[in-house]
Amino acid sequence: MTAHPVEQPLSLLSVSQETPFDLSDGVTMRIGEIAIVGPSQKAKTEFIKTACKEILVDSEELIYGSVKVNDQLVLHLYGLDGPDQETNPFWDLVSQKLLGYVILFDWDDPNGFPLVRETIDSITGRYRIPLVVAANIAHLPSSIPASFINTDLNLAEQSQFTFCNISESQSVNNVLVTLIDSLIEKLNT
């Protein structure tokens, strides 16, 4: 008999009585987890919705979606406020589990920019973890030169900057691909 993979369910789902108590001894699904952090809840929600097609949790604390890559592999995307100093020790643990961070902000929102920089500082000052800084230009021309912002944000070695259109699937996927490429490169070195 073929063993069916047991997918890790969403952490915040309430206990259901419909699923039987039979714990399969099948293959555990492999999960890659990526945190999408940034000042705009709306942008994070749209990013995850575009990547996953469906938002499974959309609360103030957490936005969650999941991309099924194949039967044994799934990518979980968590939209969070970013390292929160009030949950300091937890973030250390959470970050150990993550593949990386996407720091997302609206390019046309000047108020979010200092917070973005603070988030970048928090993460790069604390973790050696791949990081992609993505500026959402969903409602702006795409001909913005990226070079200056890379310098302005003073991005650390493990960080990359990219523009993206959070309403376009391929653009969102490109952000994730950038992060995955960083990981592959890290494994190669």
In the range 114-143, which residues lie near another protein by CB under 8 A? 114-115, 117-118, 121-122, 125-130, 140-141, 143
Residues 6+ positions from 62 with CB-CB distance below 8 Å: 12, 78, 79, 80
Q: What is the nearest approach in angstroms of another protein to the Cβ of residue 74? A: 6
Q: What is the nearest approach in angstroms of another protein to the Cβ of residue 126? A: 5
Determine if 99 is a binding residue for another protein (CB under 8 A): yes
Closest alpha carbon to 60 in 76, 45, 49: 45
CB 45 within 8 A of CB 58: yes
Q: For the stretch 31-50, what's the b/e string if a residue is b when 16 or more beta carbons lie within 10 angstroms of its beta carbon?
A: bbbbbbbbbbeebbbbbbbb
Closest alpha carbon to 63 in 75, 39, 46: 46
Q: What is the nearest approach in angstroms of another protein to the Cβ of residue 22? A: 7
- Closer to another protein by Cβ: residue 58 or 121: 121
In the range 38-67, which residues lie near another protein by CB under 8 A? 39, 51-54, 56, 65-67
Interacting residue with another protein among 1, 19, 157, 189 (CB under 8 A): 19
- Closer to another protein by Cβ: residue 99 or 133: 99
Sign of the torsion angle spanned by Cα atoms 89, 90, 95, 97? positive
Q: What is the nearest approach in angstroms of another protein to the Cβ of residue 177? A: 5
